Amino acid sequence: AQSVTQLDSQVPVFEEAPVELRCNYSSSVSVYLFWYVQYPNQGLQLLLKYLSGSTLVKGINGFEAEFNKSQTSFHLRKPSVHISDTAEYFCAVVSNDYKLSFGAGTTVTVRA
């Protein structure tokens, strides 16, 4: 079975500073990897995904992530955050060809 570990449960960051959210996965087969964002009392919104090809993936709202097969990682980055980026972020991997397995989430709090 595939699983995901998000290494940071909470990340406080100042506005306009960079942020990195760490995600490691375990899998013995090809993977599809995702980052989702969840704003308070909302559903999940897809930020970006890695299916194949270039290991640097660009998503919405200025986020990007890099797939590193040797380190089994898929870390999410943004060079300059805004107050509106305050949210919960989830890393996920597909298993059984259709089932999303999510990490426990990272809470990002952006302060002025």
Indicate the residue type of 35: W
Whole-angstrom CA distances from 64 to 21, 48, 59 are: 11, 7, 6
Q: Among the candidate windows 23-31, 37-45, 63-71, 76-84, which touches another protein by CB under 8 A? A: 37-45
Helix (H) or strand (E) holding 37: strand 33-38
Whole-angstrom CA distances from 37 to 5, 28, 76 are: 16, 26, 11
Cβ nearer to another protein, comparing 15 with 38: 38
Q: Among the candidate windows 13-21, 41-49, 67-75, 78-86, which touches another protein by CB under 8 A? A: 41-49
Query: Does 42 engage in binding with another protein (CB under 8 A)?
Result: yes
Query: Does 109 engage in binding with another protein (CB under 8 A)?
Result: no
**CB of 23: closest distance to another protein in angstroms?**
11
Query: Does 45 engage in binding with another protein (CB under 8 A)?
Result: yes
Cβ nearer to another protein, comparing 3 with 55: 3
Is residue 21 within 8 Å of 8, Cβ to Cβ?
A: yes
Is residue 65 within 8 Å of 50, Cβ to Cβ?
A: yes
Of residues 83-102, those binding another protein (CB under 8 A): 90, 92, 94, 96-102
